[in-house]
Every structure is written in C-alpha cells, then in structure tokens.
Amino acid sequence: MQAALCVLWMALCACGVSSSPLRSVQAGENVNMASADDVNILMYGVLQFTESLHHMYQSTEARLARLMKAVSRTESEVKRLGHDTEEAAQNERQIKEKLQLLQAQMKALEIQVHENRDTVTRVELEEAQLKKKLSSLEENLNSSVPDKIKGAPLKNNSNLKDLMKWTQEQKLKLENQNRQLADLQKRNMV
C-alpha cells in the first residue's frame, strides 16, 4: 500500500504537477499540461491502487469473519468442557457418597454377622448340653419310671426336634448373611 502511494507521488512529481494548480494558472505562468497518456497512466495506477485496497479490505473482512467464527467455536467448546467438568465432579461426589454408604452398610452387616455367629454358637452349645441332659434323663427315666410315665420322653424328643429345627434355621440365616457380606465386599473391591 505504501509502495503504491510512493509510485503515485513520484509520478505526480515527474509530471511537474504543482501543489496548487490554481495559483500557477492565475499568475499567468507557463503551465505544462500533462498529456492524455500521462493522465491515463496515472488514472490506471489510481484504479489499480483502489482495486488492491478494495481486495485487501474484502480479504481482511473474510479473515476477520473466519477468526470470529473460530473464536465463537472455541468459546462454545470451552463452555461445553466447563459443563462436562462440573458434571464429572458431581458424578464423582455422588460415587463417593454411595461408596461411603456401602461401606457403612458393610460394617453394619459385619457386626450383625458376628452377633449372629455368637448366637448360633451359644445355641449349638445349649443344644449339645440339652441333648446330654435329655439322654441322661431318658436313661434315668427308663430305669426308674414305670411304663405309664415313659411317654414323657417322647414329648421331650418333640421339643428337642423343634429346637434343632430352629437352630438349623438360624444357621441358614447366618449363611445367607455371610453370602451377602461376601457380595458387598466384592462390590466394594471393584
């Protein structure tokens, strides 16, 4: 652009154009008029110059439009990434809360399993003691009681069977809780 201005100025200087053409004409000086070819060349140069300015303006405008689109896309990507980051942080908080809840539940189940084991062990010991007492009572009863009273051990046997059935149910409950605890521990490790 500067080069085109310099060329235009040099052309004007070479043709002898004064800075004030009216003064020179009024003073009656001998003015050399530029030839039509010189004027045409100068006008062609001016047209070339304006075309290049216009082209430069359009290309700059197109570049600026592309740049604004790129900035807009970048801003939307930054907003989307910010939203994704917030969402990921929220998901992480939820996962941590659920993990803490699972750990608390697992501890509660472990405590319950230990309590149930103690209960089952105590019941098994009581059952063994009752069996010993019952067998010794049966022996004593068989040896000392007449035939009419011998029906009582059958009733005791029935009670013993009920107690054994209850003990078996407690064992099944304990095994079920152990399985649940193992499943929770596996999930927690994953």
- Measured between alpha carbons, how far is 185 from 168 in angstroms, rounded to an integer? 26
With beta carbons less than 8 A apart as the criterion, state whether 188 and 103 touch: yes
With beta carbons less than 8 A apart as the criterion, state whether 69 and 31 touch: no
Over the chain (190 residues), the average pLDDT of each successive run of 10 is 63 57 50 80 90 92 94 95 94 93 90 86 86 83 63 69 87 88 79
Given this model, what pLDDT does residue 88 score?
Answer: 94
Given this model, what pLDDT does residue 13 score?
Answer: 62
- Measured between alpha carbons, how far is 79 from 85 in angstroms, rounded to an integer? 10
CB environment 82-101: b (16+ within 10 A), e (fewer): eeeeeeeeeeeeeeeeeeee
